[in-house]
Structures are given as structure tokens and as C-alpha cells.
């Protein structure tokens, strides 16, 4: 009994780490740029497909591919900010919602046109590797993803606290005008923040490719999960996204076992709606909730 | 250009189109084209349904598939299991969807913008998963096949053309509903709350209830579409009936066509569905997703650069090319003299009777986060007077307004209006309905509708019909001097005109007490003088005015009496002369030790 | 040549004209001030000078160069620093975090440690509270922090927007005294205030703003004695 619970907890935590990894980019973008990027999941999808293809065609391992695609997606993110986000920064909600929504549709269907709807997965030497720890089984790629998630949170925290660029982002998130009065080039910050947020999806995509199959609409599923995590944790809050991810991972793990795996998604979507209604600022509170109409 | 010709031409065009639409299937032999027409009108119908809550009310739902699926499953399950005719089942489905929309709407309408959208998206997925999981009821992912037994009672037809006529009829009904909404008080309320919820409340609009009605109507119509689809395809499953893609299409097509208009959903579907079906037929399963790819790209372009949709383009072109077909409303003064319903100012008790205190504020107290924004404020306002409220920055003047007009609840004290204690009412719109109108410090014109339509949102509080509201609106516009720009959109106005519009809109609700919040700020001396005259004129007709101002010359020359606030407390009251000589006042404004002899 | 020269500046918020043909100048080393009632446009002037708003016509010259089109961060780099109304401190940062942000520009970063020492010398209480989050500071302490943060940027012209707002009289006196001290070290000051007397007593040059227009200017003393001032504030 206890063993089951512990196993479920381990599974939940490692799953949660993955979810956290996917959600961190979304929450960073919201915190700094104040935009909800409905296409966030699609960038994850791009990262996954890129990893898949480079493995299939060039036999490059995902853990190496991530060093290629993280910076590439960072650049892609910066370009997206310039082209698509900048024009709608001060536009009414309908434009801000449907512009990134439009982007997500374009990316999903672009992928569909090029790569068809088949599921693609890859198998590496360690895809199914398992560590046995005191009788509990821990899947290696999941563990790696979890550890990377922890590492990213720490790195980001240090970045935001210790580097001038990071502090500038922090300042912009807390008070945009005051930041400008400190000499912060706000357009540059938006671009970099968006780039980082998307680059993180590239990283996540490479890390989860050994675990999940990819297909054009995989971004939709993971994207929604990212929203749930971000809202639960508190928009714009990095630690919140990490904790939120762990909680959702645990919920999924336990409800999958005790209730039904099919109802997993329904359960955490319900949690999502409940959080939005009851405590929209999430666990850790939001940086600037009222602006976005959460009252 | 006489009005008569234009109307005649428009009706003519409509009749010709209607004729073509009715006759076409009888001459067309190719089933594909009939199918195409069915698809076009199907999406027009769904788009019109979505548009009620997404376009008119501005609540961007991405989960309408919930209602669609409820419609499809209800009628199908009733038909298969109990032999109930799908026509009846359709109505049952509509009612169920309507009830569901209330359950969803009550909590979710507290969210705005992207959060509302996300929550509806999530709910759509929840329903899809539940439908898949609840196999006993729905057969889960296997879906349900409807046995092919032709007949009107079964809502199953051999000829596609019959389906076409059915969906055409549905669409006509939906168009009728849209048009009715567009012209009615309800529609005006929806537009107002879409543009600015606070301003809508200040005009006496019960925002939550109106939103609910919008989603209920929308849900009902959408559910009907679900049943139709079930009867057309004769197979339902959770992925098709609770499809995210469908939710998106229901929103995207009206947005591309022109969100919040009657004809926008029609244009959107009419232009894009043929493209979609054409691509599907031509390319088959290769390049699956191309049409959506195009939609996505168009969506980005439209919301960024052409927010009012394709319709705007067409209208702009049409106004130049065929003006009589695309008239700009009310270009000229009507020949028939207007009634003077509004200008009779009949809702105000004539001066001489009902003298005395119109409103009293007693020991009013309001805290914000531990600090008292206003404390122990008391004063009265007499019927027919102009009372000025002044005080340095942060004195609490706007807070006081917000408490009086019901936007904040007081933490102590009371507000008595018409002898009734209104401070215990919990909604601002109730106070407006009792006769208090207000303007806002940061003016809130409704940006995407015209000056006349703006004023009408206020006029609809008292006027029941479009014609009466329009009449009132025109009269008021003439009074405040905005008649000439009655067709200009709210967002294109100068500051002086915006302030006038705000005043006109509040006036349209037929108040007897008008609260004006810094209405002169930003005006040049000439405009300020005009504003002073206008306010005097309004008062002379019998409206009592409470005015916050910083433009000292203005408030001093206008006010009969003045109340001064400083740090949330009333520090003085009296005539303008008295107040200007009051030491406490001078200190408050100019700082300690300033007092000149 | 003046340190700052503004010529016939018009500023619009959308279609709303907030400033009309505003002209003013500030000489190096002096304390200049803009006074006026609420809604007169004082904050608008400072926001435009900082680049947060764009003038639709007119010129802004700073240190001899035209700055009208420069983006906000360029102006800060050149030494045009604003301490905004209601302080606008970063709410979730500590005192030292805020001061750190003050020296964001490359020019200011170089001497950061030295300047920080001076700020702590000027405002000892800030050193004491350097690890506290700004929300826990009193109003006066917050204002000091805001000023300190502005000084970290090594200003050539320091603009203060209503530093006395919401503060107790005794604290206000201290703030004005601080401004005088800062100026005596060679930093030019542009002060925007509603609190007239103390501000005008301090100013070498003053402008009165009413409804977006300059209606009066002169030395601080001249303006203080002028009847029009009283009319501008009290309307009679």
C-alpha cells in the first residue's frame, strides 16, 4: 500500500517536473510581456519534431540536440515577438487572444501539412531505462527532465536576481514605467523575454522526446496543461510554475490510479476552472493580475 | 439621396438573392454544390449563434462546442432510445444547453479576456472527455450511428436539398434574432457592456444578467446546430461533437467576417467555407489542414490590422461604389419635425414642488487597505442646486463619487437619495435606475460605435423601442452640440467631444441628479466656457448637479455652494466666496504658511 | 546654453491635448520648478521629458543635443533622470535591489560602489533597511529611497514629481532640505510640486502651469508674490 503510494508519488513528481518545464516559459512571458501566448504549446511541438527529425536523419541524441534547438528556438521566439507580438502589445483583448491563437493554428496545421498526423516517436538507449531505488522504479528520461526542471528554475532565479539583464526583466515585470526611467530598453527586454520563453520550449521538447510521441496537435494538449500549471502556480511566478507543475503531476498520477486514467485531463481542467474562479491569483499570487481582468 | 430609393434598392437586392437561394437547389443537379450550400449556411448559422455572446456581448467563448455537443447528443439519444422525434429532441437539447450555459456562465463571467477564453476552452475539453468516458450513456468513442429511416418526423431526408431548406430556415431565424438584438434595448445593453462594463453599469444596465441572457440565447441556437449536424451526418462521436476545432471555427468565422455585426458571420462563412470545402474536395487528404493554416494566418492579419473584419472593407468599398446600397445612417435631418419627448424634461418634478433635500450623505466612511480614503463626510444637496466638490490631489473626491453612485460600498455611514437609503444597495446600476447619472474622470466613450449609438445606450434605460431611443438621442445630441458628428465612432472623438458625449449619455438616462467628475479637465478656455454654459442650461431645466472640478474658475463660477475635502475629510463648506477666503482651504491647496492677506 | 531647453511643446494623449505650446528652460546648477493645480499637466511635462510620452510638435534640447525623438533609455543614459510621482519603487525588491536598478546604465554602473556609499551617507536609514522590501518602509523612507535610486543614475538633471505627495509636513521639510543639499553638490534640479510655498522659496526659476499652458514664470520669489498664482489655484 505504502509502496504504491510512494511509487505514484515518484511518478507524479517526475511527471510534474516535465509539466513545470513546459510551463515556465509561458509564465515568464506573461510576467514580463503581459501576454498570454496561446501558441506556447506549438513551440514545444516544434522542439519535439526538430528533435525527432535530427535523431531520425542524423542520429543525433536528444540530449545533444537540446543544445542546438534551445538557442534556435530562442531566436525564433525573438523573431515572433518582433513580427507578431509587438503590433498587438497595446491592442484590445480580442486582438491579443486571437493573434497568438491564430499563430497556434498556423503552426499546428503547418505541421499537419508537412508531417501528417502520424505519431512519431524515437527510442534511444535509455528511453526505457529505469533506476531502482529502494524498490521504487524511476524512469530515467523522466528523472532527467525533472532534474533539468529544477536546474532551470535555479538558473532562472539566479539570472533574474543576479544579472543586470535579469534584474531589468524583473523590474519590467514589477513596474514597466519605472523600469524605463531606470534606463531599461523595454523593447529589447520584451524581445529577449519572449525569446527565453520560447527557447525553454525547445529545451523541453528535446527532453521529453524520449518519453512522448510527437504529432502536430501535441502542442494543444501540453499547452493547455501549461495554462493549468501557470494559473495554479500564479502567473508570472517562476517558483509557482514549478510547484504548480508538481501538483498537477501528482494529481494526474494519483487520480489516474485511483479514479481512472481517462478522466485525468477532465480532473485537472476542472481544477483549472475552479482556481480561476475561486483564487485567480493562484498559489503564489500574480505579478499584476488585475490588469488582465482577473477581478 | 432620398431615403426611399436606398431602401427600395436594398430590399430589391435581398429579394433577388432570396429568390436565387430558394430556386437554386431545384435546378442544380450536382449534389456537391448542394452540400456546399448546406455547409455554408450551417456555418453561418453557428456563427450567428456564437456572435450573440461572442460578438455582441464581447465574451470571447472558445468552448461553444459544449452546447453543440449537448444538442447533438440529447436529440440523438432521445431518438435512438425513446423514439422521440429529433425535432422535439432538438428543443430539449436546446433547453439543456441553455441550462448548462447558465451553470457555466455564472462563475466564468467573472473572468475577462483571455482567462474567460481559457476557461471555456478547458470546459469544452472536459465535456469531450466526459462524453468519451461515460460509455453507458454515449457509447463513448465508438460513437452512435443513427439508423437511416427517411421521413420528416425522423428528420432524415434522402435529398440533400431538403436539408438545405431546413438549414436555410434556421439561418433566417438566426438572422432574425440577430437583427432583433441589434435594434433592441437588449442589444444596446450588450454592446455597452462589451465596450466598458463600468460605464454600462452607470447607465443602469444589469451587466451580469444581460451576459447570462446572451449566453443562453447563444447556447440554444448552437444546440440546434448540433442536432442538425447529427441528422445530416447520421453519426455522432465525442471527438466530432465536442471538437475544439469547431469551437474555434465558430469564433473565427464571425471574427473574420466582422465580429459583433449582423452580417459579419454571414460574410465570414460565405467567403471562407467554400474555400474550405473546395480545398477539401480538391486536395483530399493530402495537405490536410491547409484551410485552417490559411484561417490562422488570416486571423492574425485581421485582428492586428483589420479588427472589424472583411465586412468593414466591403462597407468602405460599397459606400463609395454603390452608396444607396450601403447608406450611412441618418445623413440628413428628417423632414418631419421631431417629437420633443426628451426636451419636455417631463420626468423632473417642476420647480416649486418637492423642494428640499434631494440627497444626503451622512458620516460616510470608506477604507482602502487600512487607510481611510474618506472619513465622516456629511453634507446635503438641495434639489436644483449645483454643488461643487473640491480638494487637492488625493483628497478622496472620486472615492466619494464612487461610494455615492454605488461603485464602492461604504464602510460606514449612509447615502440617502429620494428618502431612500441607497448605500445598502449592492449594485451601481440600481442607483442609476433610481435617477442618478454620472460621468467618469477618465472618460469612457464606447469606442467602436457611433456618437448616436453611444447616447442611445443611455436612452434605452427609459425608452422601450429603438425609434424612441433614437429620438431621445438626437434631441440630446442637439442640446450638447454633437448632432453634427452623430455618426463618428467613439474612438475618433476629440477630448472636448468625448466629455460632451459622456455628459450626453448620462443625461439620456433621464437623471434628476447628475454627478460630473472633472468634466472640464483638458479643455481649452473656450471649451471650458461652453461647458459651463451647457451645465447651467441643464440645471436650469431642473437637474441637480454635483460636480468635482480642479479648474477653479469653472467650479467657482458654476457652483451655488462648495464642499472642500482634504485627506478624506470635509474641511469646509459654503458659497464660493466664503470658501476662497477660508484659511483652511488656502492652506490645503497652497501649503502651510501661505496665507496672503 | 541652457542645460535643458523646451520649445513650444504640444503633447496629446490620443486625441486629448494635454500640453499646449509649453516652453521652458533650466540652467545648469539651478533649481527650477513647475507648479500648478491638479490636472494642470505637470506630470505630463515630466513624462514627456523622460520620453514616456512623445511630443507631437516642439523641441526638447538637453546638453546641447536634440532629444525630442530619443527613446527613454537613451535619455537616462545621458543623465536626464526622473523620480516619478508616488515614487514607483519596485514593490517586490529590497532597498538595495531598488538602488541597484538605479545604476542600470553602463555609465552609472562603473562607479556603483562609490555612489552607493554616498547615498547611504546621505540617507543612513536606507543602509539600515537595505534588505527590507520596499512595501515595509514608511512614506518618508520610500521617498528617500526613490531619491537615492535616482541619484544612483548619476543625473545631470534630476526631475522630481511631487516628492511631497502624501507625506507629513515635517517629512516634507526634510525632503526639501535634501533637495537643496543635492543641488548644492552641483546637480541641477527640476521640481514639480503642488505644495507651493516651500517649493517656490527653494527655486531659482519657476513656471506656473494651468490647463496645459505656462501662464506665468519668473524667479521663485516673483512667482510666489504674484496674484495670478492665487487665482490659478483658487479660481477667485
d(CA B248, CA B293) in angstroms, rounded, equals 13
Which grid cell sits at B498? 468625448
Query: For position C36, what pLDDT does the model report?
Result: 81
Interface contact A88-B303, CB threshold 8 A: yes
Per the model's pLDDT, the better-predicted residue between B495 and B22 turns out to be B22
Task: For residue C203, report the phi and psi dihedrals to the nearest 5 degrees.
Answer: -85, 140
Q: Which of A93, A116, A262 sits opposite B133 (nearest CB)?
A: A262
Per the model's pLDDT, the better-predicted residue between B332 and B325 turns out to be B325
Share of residues in chain B with pLDDT > 70 (%): 90
Cell numbers 528511453 correspond to A127
Interface test with B, best of A33, A39, A103, A106 (most B CBs within 10 A): A106
Q: Whole-model pTM?
A: 0.85
- Average pLDDT for chain C: 88
d(CA B345, CA B493) in angstroms, rounded, equals 27
How many Å lie between the alpha carbon of A30 and the closest alpha carbon of chain B?
A: 12
Query: For position A259, what pLDDT does the model report?
Result: 85
Closest CA to C165 of A219, B394, A274: B394
Domains, chain C, ordered by start: 1-77+191-236 (3.40.50.300)
Angle at B203 between CA B503 and CA B381, to 5 degrees: 65
d(CA C103, CA C105) in angstroms, rounded, equals 6
C92 near A CB under 8 A: yes
Q: Which of B14-18, B227-231, C203-207 is predicted with the least confidence, judged by mean pLDDT?
A: B14-18
d(CA B266, CA B171) in angstroms, rounded, equals 9
Q: Are B423 and B414 in contact, with CB atoms under 8 Å apart?
A: yes
Q: Measure the N-to-C terminal CA separation of chain B; round to a whole number of Å.
A: 67
Which grid cell sits at B389? 466638490
d(CA A12, CA A23) in angstroms, rounded, equals 16
Confidence of residue C91 (pLDDT cuts 50, 70, 90): confident
The model's pLDDT over B520-564, given as tens digits with 9 standing for 90+, comes to 877 777 888 889 999 999 998 889 999 998 777 788 889 999 998
**A133-137, A235-239, B591-595, C160-164: range with highest mean pLDDT:** C160-164
For residue C144, CA distances in Å to A19, B477, C50, C178 come to 44, 51, 21, 9
Q: Tell me the longest C-alpha to C-alpha distance in chain C.
A: 53
C226 near B CB under 8 A: no
d(CA B352, CA A115) in angstroms, rounded, equals 82
Cell numbers 436650469 correspond to B540
A6 near B CB under 8 A: no
Q: Can you tell me whether residue B594 is helix, strand or coil?
A: coil
Task: For residue C93, report the phi and psi dihedrals to the nearest 5 degrees.
Answer: -105, 160
Which grid cell sits at C226? 504674484
Interface contact A178-C90, CB threshold 8 A: yes
Q: Please check the confidence at residue A292 and state whether its pLDDT lies above 90.
A: no
d(CA C121, CA B258) in angstroms, rounded, equals 63
- Average pLDDT for chain B: 86
Q: Which residue of B has its CA nearest to A231?
A: B115
Query: For position B593, what pLDDT does the model report?
Result: 45
Interface of B with A in 27-66 (CB under 8 A): 58, 60
**What CATH topology corresponds to A2-292?**
ABC transporter involved in vitamin B12 uptake, BtuC (1.10.3470)
**CATH of the structural domain B357-590, one choice from 3.40.50.720, 3.90.1150.10, 2.170.150.20, 3.40.50.300:** 3.40.50.300
Q: Which residues of A touch C (CB under 8 A)?
A: 164, 167-168, 170-171, 174-175, 177-186, 287
Q: Please check the confidence at residue B201 and state whether its pLDDT lies above 90.
A: yes
The model's pLDDT over B178-196, given as tens digits with 9 standing for 90+, comes to 999 999 999 999 999 999 9
Interface of C with A in 39-68 (CB under 8 A): 50-52
Cell numbers 552641483 correspond to C186
DSSP category for residue C215: E
Residue B469, judged by CB atoms within 10 A of its CB (0-12, 13-18, 19+), counts as buried
Q: Which residue of C has its CA nearest to A185?
A: C73
Q: Can you tell me whether residue C184 is helix, strand or coil?
A: helix
Interface test with A, best of C70, C73, C142 (most A CBs within 10 A): C73
Closest CA to A228 of A247, A204, A255: A247
Interface contact B393-C194, CB threshold 8 A: yes
Interface contact B304-A88, CB threshold 8 A: yes
Confidence of residue A258 (pLDDT cuts 50, 70, 90): confident
Closest CA to A122 of A236, A198, A213: A213
Share of residues in chain B with pLDDT > 90 (%): 48
Q: Which of C20, C39, C169 sits opposite B518 (nearest CB)?
A: C39
Q: Which of C27-31, C53-57, C81-85, C193-197 is predicted with the least confidence, judged by mean pLDDT?
A: C193-197
What is the complex's ipTM, to 2 decimals? 0.87
d(CA C143, CA C149) in angstroms, rounded, equals 10
Confidence of residue C70 (pLDDT cuts 50, 70, 90): very high
Q: Which residue of B has its CA nearest to A87?
A: B304
Angle at C26 between CA C163 and CA C149, to 5 degrees: 35
Query: For position A291, what pLDDT does the model report?
Result: 43
d(CA C202, CA C223) in angstroms, rounded, equals 12
DSSP category for residue A82: I
Q: At what angle do helices B583-590 and C227-234 cross, to 10 degrees?
A: 100
Interface contact A98-B299, CB threshold 8 A: yes
Partners of residue C85 in chain B, C-beta under 8 Å: none
Q: Are A269 and B103 in contact, with CB atoms under 8 Å apart?
A: no
Partners of residue C92 in chain A, C-beta under 8 Å: 174, 287
C14 near A CB under 8 A: no
Per the model's pLDDT, the better-predicted residue between B346 and A141 turns out to be A141
C189 forms beta bridges with C31, C158
The model's pLDDT over C182-200, given as tens digits with 9 standing for 90+, comes to 999 899 999 998 778 888 8
| Alpha-carbon dihedral sign for residues B4, B8, B14, B17 | negative
Q: Please check the confidence at residue B353 and state whether its pLDDT lies above 60.
A: no
Angle at B133 between CA B132 and CA B139, to 5 degrees: 60
| Spacing of C-alpha A44 from chain mean position | 8
A87 near B CB under 8 A: yes
Query: For position C193, what pLDDT does the model report?
Result: 86
Q: Are A239 and A28 in contact, with CB atoms under 8 Å apart?
A: no
Closest CA to A236 of A278, A187, A178, A294: A294
Query: For position B242, what pLDDT does the model report?
Result: 92
d(CA B304, CA A88) in angstroms, rounded, equals 6
Q: Which of C82, C90, C104 sits opposite A175 (nearest CB)?
A: C90
B279 near A CB under 8 A: no
The model's pLDDT over B285-306, given as tens digits with 9 standing for 90+, comes to 667 788 888 888 989 998 898 8
Q: At what angle do helices B86-108 and B207-233 cross, to 10 degrees?
A: 140
Q: DSSP letters along chain C, please?
A: --SEEEEEEEEEETTEEEEEEEEEEE-TT-EEEEE--TTSSHHHHHHHHHTSS-EEEEEEEETTEE-TT--HHHHHHHTEEEE-TT----TTSBHHHHHHHHT-SHHHHHTHHHHHHHHHHH-HHHHHTTTSBGGGS-HHHHHHHHHHHHHHT--SEEEEE-TTTT--HHHHHHHHHHHHHHHHTT-EEEEEES-HHHHHHH-SEEEEEETTEEEEEE-HHHHHH-HHHHHHHH--
B296 near A CB under 8 A: yes
- Please list the helix, strand and coil fractions of chain A in percent, rounded to the nearest 5, in that order: 75, 5, 20
Any idea where the domains of chain B sit in the sequence?
3-321, 357-590
Query: For position B477, what pLDDT does the model report?
Result: 92
Helix (H) or strand (E) holding A136: strand A136-139
B130 near A CB under 8 A: yes
Which grid cell sits at A279? 483564487
Q: What is the CA radius of gyration of chain A?
A: 19
Q: What is the CA radius of gyration of chain B?
A: 29
| Spacing of C-alpha A52 from chain mean position | 19
- Average pLDDT for chain A: 89
Q: Please state the rounded mean pLDDT for residues B419-443.
A: 89
Alpha helix (H) residue ranges in A163-237: 164-174, 176-181, 186-208, 218-233
Cell numbers 518582433 correspond to A82
Q: At what angle do helices B160-183 and B207-233 cross, to 10 degrees?
A: 170
| Spacing of C-alpha A74 from chain mean position | 14
**Secondary structure (H, E, C), B311-344:** HHHHHHHHHHHCCCCCCCCCCCCCCCCCCCCCCC
Partners of residue B111 in chain A, C-beta under 8 Å: 276-277, 280, 293-294
A163 near B CB under 8 A: no
Query: For position A127, what pLDDT does the model report?
Result: 81
Q: Tell me the longest C-alpha to C-alpha distance in chain B.
A: 100
Interface test with C, best of A166, A176, A179, A181 (most C CBs within 10 A): A181
Cell numbers 520563453 correspond to A197
Q: DSSP letters along A163-180, please?
A: SHHHHHHHHHHH-HHHHH
Q: Are C206 and C197 in contact, with CB atoms under 8 Å apart?
A: no
Q: Please check the confidence at residue C39 and state whether its pLDDT lies above 90.
A: no
Q: Please check the confidence at residue B2 and state whether its pLDDT lies above 50.
A: no
Q: Please check the confidence at residue B329 and state whether its pLDDT lies above 60.
A: no
Which grid cell sits at A27? 509564465
Interface contact B492-C15, CB threshold 8 A: yes
Query: For position B339, what pLDDT does the model report?
Result: 55
Q: Please check the confidence at residue C205 and state whether its pLDDT lies above 90.
A: yes
Query: For position C86, what pLDDT does the model report?
Result: 81
Amino acid at each position: 500500500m505504502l509502496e504504491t503510494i510512494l511509487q505514484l508519488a515518484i511518478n507524479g513528481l517526475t511527471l510534474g517536473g516535465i509539466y513545470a518545464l513546459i510551463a515556465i516559459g509561458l509564465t515568464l512571458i506573461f510576467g514580463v510581456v503581459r501576454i498570454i501566448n496561446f501558441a506556447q504549446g506549438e513551440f514545444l511541438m516544434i522542439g519535439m519534431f526538430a528533435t525527432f527529425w535530427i535523431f531520425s536523419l542524423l542520429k543525433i541524441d536528444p540530449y545533444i540536440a537540446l543544445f542546438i534547438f534551445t538557442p534556435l528556438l530562442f531566436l525564433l521566439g525573438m523573431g515572433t515577438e518582433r513580427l507578431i507580438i509587438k503590433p498587438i502589445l497595446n491592442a484590445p483583448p480580442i486582438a491579443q487572444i486571437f493573434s497568438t491563437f491564430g499563430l497556434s493554428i498556423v503552426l499546428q496545421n503547418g505541421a499537419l501539412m508537412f508531417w501528417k498526423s502520424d505519431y512519431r516517436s524515437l527510442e534511444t538507449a535509455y528511453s526505457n531505462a529505469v533506476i531502482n531505488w529502494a524498490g521504487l522504479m524511476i524512469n530515467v528520461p523522466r528523472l532527467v527532465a525533472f532534474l533539468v526542471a529544477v536546474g532551470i528554475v535555479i538558473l532562472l532565479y539566479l539570472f533574474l536576481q543576479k544579472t543586470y539583464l535579469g534584474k531589468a526583466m524583473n523590474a519590467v515585470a514589477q513596474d514597466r514605467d519605472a523600469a524605463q526611467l531606470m534606463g531599461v530598453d523595454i523593447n529589447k527586454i520584451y524581445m529577449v523575454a519572449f525569446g527565453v520563453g520560447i527557447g525553454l520550449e525547445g529545451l523541453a521538447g528535446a527532453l521529453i522526446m524520449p518519453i512522448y510521441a510527437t504529432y502536430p496537435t501535441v502542442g494543444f494538449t501540453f499547452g493547455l496543461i501549461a495554462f493549468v500549471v501557470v494559473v495554479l502556480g500564479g502567473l508570472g511566478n517562476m517558483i509557482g510554475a514549478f510547484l504548480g507543475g508538481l501538483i498537477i503531476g501528482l494529481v494526474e498520477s494519483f487520480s489516474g490510479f485511483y479514479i481512472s486514467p481517462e478522466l485525468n485531463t477532465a480532473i485537472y481542467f476542472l481544477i483549472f476552472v475552479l482556481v480561476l474562479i475561486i483564487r485567480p491569483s493562484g498559489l503564489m499570487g500574480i505579478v499584476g493580475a488585475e490588469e488582465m481582468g482577473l477581478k | 439621396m432620398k431615403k426611399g430609393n436606398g431602401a427600395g434598392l436594398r430590399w430589391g437586392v435581398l429579394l433577388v438573392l432570396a429568390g436565387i437561394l430558394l430556386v437554386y437547389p431545384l435546378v442544380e443537379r450536382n449534389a456537391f454544390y448542394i452540400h456546399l450550400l448546406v455547409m455554408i449556411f450551417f456555418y453561418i448559422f453557428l456563427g450567428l449563434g456564437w456572435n450573440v455572446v461572442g460578438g455582441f456581448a464581447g465574451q470571447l467563448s472558445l468552448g461553444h462546442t459544449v452546447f453543440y455537443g449537448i444538442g447533438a447528443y440529447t436529440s440523438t439519444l432521445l431518438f435512438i432510445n425513446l423514439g422521440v422525434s429529433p425535432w422535439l429532441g432538438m428543443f430539449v437539447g436546446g433547453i439543456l444547453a441553455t441550462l448548462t450555459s447558465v451553470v457555466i456562465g455564472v462563475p466564468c463571467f467573472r473572468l475577462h479576456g483571455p482567462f474567460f477564453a481559457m476557461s471555456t476552452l478547458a470546459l469544452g475539453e472536459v465535456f469531450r472527455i466526459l462524453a468519451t468516458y461515460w460509455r453507458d450513456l454515449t457509447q463513448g468513442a465508438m460513437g452512435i450511428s443513427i439508423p437511416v429511416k427517411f421521413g420528416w418526423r425522423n428528420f432524415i431526408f434522402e435529398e440533400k436539398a431538403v436539408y438545405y431548406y431546413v438549414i436555410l430556415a434556421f439561418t433566417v431565424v438566426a438572422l432574425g434574432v440577430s437583427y432583433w438584438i441589434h435594434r433592441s434595448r437588449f442589444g444596446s445593453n450588450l454592446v455597452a457592456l462589451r465596450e466598458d462594463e463600468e460605464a454600462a453599469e452607470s447607465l443602469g444596465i444589469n451587466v451580469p444578467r444581460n451576459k447570462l441572457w446572451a449566453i443562453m440565447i447563444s447556447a440554444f441556437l448552437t444546440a440546434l446546430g448540433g442536432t442538425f449536424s447529427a441528422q445530416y451526418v447520421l453519426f455522432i462521436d465525442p471527438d466530432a461533437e465536442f471538437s475544439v476545432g469547431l469551437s474555434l471555427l465558430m469564433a473565427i468565422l464571425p471574427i473574420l467576417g466582422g465580429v459583433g455585426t449582423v452580417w459579419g458571420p454571414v460574410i465570414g462563412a460565405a467567403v471562407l467555407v467554400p474555400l474550405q470545402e473546395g480545398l477539401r474536395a480538391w486536395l483530399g487528404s493530402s495537405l490536410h489542414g491547409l484551410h485552417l493554416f490559411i484561417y490562422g494566418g488570416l486571423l492574425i492579419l485581421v485582428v492586428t490590422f483589420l479588427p472589424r473584419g472583411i465586412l468593414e472593407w466591403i462597407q468602405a468599398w460599397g459606400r463609395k461604389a454603390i452608396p444607396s446600397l450601403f447608406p450611412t445612417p441618418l445623413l440628413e435631418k428628417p423632414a418631419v419635425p421631431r417629437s420633443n419627448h426628451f426636451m419636455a424634461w417631463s420626468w423632473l418634478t417642476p420647480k416649486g414642488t418637492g423642494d428640499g433635500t434631494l440627497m444626503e450623505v451622512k458620516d460616510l466612511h470608506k477604507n482602502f487597505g487600512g487607510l481611510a480614503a474618506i472619513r465622516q463626510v456629511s453634507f446635503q444637496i438641495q434639489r436644483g442646486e449645483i454643488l461643487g466638490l473640491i480638494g487637492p490631489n488625493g483628497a478622496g473626491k472620486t472615492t466619494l463619487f464612487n461610494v455615492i453612485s454605488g461603485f464602492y460600498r461604504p464602510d460606514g455611514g449612509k447615502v440617502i437619495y429620494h428618502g431612500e437609503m441607497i448605500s445598502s444597495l449592492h449594485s451601481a446600476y440600481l442607483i442609476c435606475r433610481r435617477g442618478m447619472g454620472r460621468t467618469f474622470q477618465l472618460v469612457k466613450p464606447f469606442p467602436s460605435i457611433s456618437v448616436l449609438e453611444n447616447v442611445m445606450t443611455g436612452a434605452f434605460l427609459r425608452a422601450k423601442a429603438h425609434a424612441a431611443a433614437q429620438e431621445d438621442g438626437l434631441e440630446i445630441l442637439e442640446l450638447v452640440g454633437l448632432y453634427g458628428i452623430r455618426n463618428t465612432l467613439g474612438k475618433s472623438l476629440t477630448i472636448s467631444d468625448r466629455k460632451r458625449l459622456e455628459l450626453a449619455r448620462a443625461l439620456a438616462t433621464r437623471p434628476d441628479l447628475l454627478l460630473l467628475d472633472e468634466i472640464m479637465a483638458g479643455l481649452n478656455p473656450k471649451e471650458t466656457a461652453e461647458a459651463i454654459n451647457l451645465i447651467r442650461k441643464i440645471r436650469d431645466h431642473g437637474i441637480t448637479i454635483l460636480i468635482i472640478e480642479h479648474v477653479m474658475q469653472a467650479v467657482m463660477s458654476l457652483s451655488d455652494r462648495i464642499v472642500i475635502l482634504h485627506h478624506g475629510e470635509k474641511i469646509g463648506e459654503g458659497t464660493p466666496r466664503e470658501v476662497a477666503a477660508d484659511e483652511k482651504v488656502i492652506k490645503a491647496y497652497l501649503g502651510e504658511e501661505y496665507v496672503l492677506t | 546654453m541652457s542645460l535643458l531647453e523646451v520649445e513650444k511643446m504640444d503633447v496629446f494623449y490620443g486625441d486629448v491635448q494635454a500640453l499646449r505650446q509649453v516652453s521652458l528652460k533650466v540652467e545648469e546648477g539651478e533649481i527650477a520648478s513647475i507648479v500648478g493645480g491638479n490636472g494642470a499637466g505637470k506630470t505630463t511635462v515630466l513624462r514627456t521629458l523622460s520620453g514616456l510620452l512623445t511630443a507631437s510638435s516642439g523641441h526638447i534640447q538637453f546638453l546641447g543635443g536634440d532629444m525630442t525623438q530619443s527613446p527613454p533609455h537613451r535619455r537616462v543614459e545621458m543623465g536626464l533622470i526622473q523620480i516619478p510621482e508616488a515614487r514607483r519603487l519596485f514593490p517586490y525588491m529590497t532597498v538595495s535591489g531598488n538602488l541597484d536598478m538605479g545604476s542600470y546604465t553602463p555609465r552609472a554602473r562603473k562607479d556603483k560602489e562609490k555612489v552607493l556609499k554616498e547615498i547611504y551617507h546621505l540617507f543612513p536609514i536606507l543602509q539600515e533597511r537595505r534588505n527590507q522590501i520596499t512595501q515595509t518602509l514608511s512614506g518618508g523612507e520610500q521617498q528617500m529611497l526613490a531619491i537615492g535610486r535616482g541619484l544612483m543614475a548619476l543625473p545631470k538633471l534630476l526631475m522630481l514629481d511631487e516628492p511631497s505627495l502624501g507625506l507629513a509636513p515635517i517629512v516634507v521639510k526634510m525632503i526639501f532640505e535634501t533637495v537643496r543639499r543635492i543641488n548644492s553638490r552641483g546637480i541641477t534640479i527640476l521640481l514639480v510640486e503642488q505644495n507651493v510655498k516651500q517649493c517656490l522659496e527653494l527655486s531659482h526659476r519657476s513656471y506656473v502651469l494651468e490647463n496645459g499652458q505656462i501662464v506665468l514664470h519668473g524667479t521663485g520669489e516673483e512667482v510666489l508674490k504674484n496674484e495670478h498664482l492665487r487665482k490659478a489655484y483658487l479660481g477667485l
